[in-house]
Amino acid sequence: MNNSLTKNDISVPAPVSRNITLTDNAKYFEKVDNLSYTKKTTFITTIINGQVITSNLKPNNTYYNLFILDGELFDKGYFIIKKENALTKYMGELKFDLHNNEILINVRSYPCLFANINNNYKVATDNQNALFGYIAGIEVLETAYKIYFSATSAIQQNVFNNNESLFGIKSVDAENEFDKIHWSIKKINIKKALNSLNISVAAY
């Protein structure tokens, strides 16, 4: 693993319960090659450009990360977001100092939505999906963050455009958060919010 990746406490014992291998027949994305977990810790193994990256986390569903990009294909296993767009917009009273290594570790434990900006203000095309998943690692660059990720499920993006308050999406008359490039964090259990709409995702 690249030594510059931020990672959780490596003293966590190796998993002893069971392994889950995700195949082409599973309703997941092939970036997630193997998952194994104990009662409290999830281990994610993903292959990025031929490099095996293993990450462990203790899932925390109190919050979720929202990443909105522009023209990202999500096919490399990582993406870049500028520091000026990281946790500076649509945060309300929530404060996260990304200069603090412990905070970087904590935000990795939150589930994530990865998406591109809407096709039109407050509206995505019918085939435009947001990806649900987790952060596998964060590399701090000079002017940006390189986010390594594992995506497990796809959800039609208009689910979030049409249920802004349920998912904590900031909105005004002309636009909402899915219209602007940024990374924000919501104090919402996204798994429960999706379940309330009868949408299930591979969450931990």
Of 6 and 65, the one with more pLDDT: 65
Give pLDDT, residue 174: 92
Write the Ramachandran bin of 141: left for phi over 0, alpha for psi from -120 to 50, otherwise beta: beta
Q: What is the CATH number of the domain that holds 65?
A: 2.30.130
Give pLDDT, residue 31: 44
Cα 67 from Cα 195, distance rounded (Å) = 21
Per residue in 173-203, pLDDT (tens digit) is: 999 999 999 999 999 999 999 999 999 998 8
Per residue in 62-107, pLDDT (tens digit) is: 999 999 999 999 998 899 999 999 999 999 999 999 989 899 889 9
> Would the pLDDT of 19 be above 90?
no
Establish if 103 belongs to a structural domain: yes
Q: Show the domain range for 64.
A: 60-195
Instruction: Name the band, by pLDDT with cuts 50, 70 and 90, for residue 22.
Output: very low
What's the structural domain count of the chain? 1
Establish if 92 belongs to a structural domain: yes
Establish if 26 belongs to a structural domain: no
Question: Could you tell me the pTM of the whole model?
Answer: 0.76
154 burial type by CB count under 10 A (0-12 exposed, 13-18 middle, 19+ buried): middle
Establish if 87 belongs to a structural domain: yes
Establish if 37 belongs to a structural domain: no
Give pLDDT, residue 78: 93
Residue ranges with strand state E in 89-200: 112-116, 129-140, 144-156, 182-186
Using only the alpha carbons of the chain, give its radius of gyration: 16
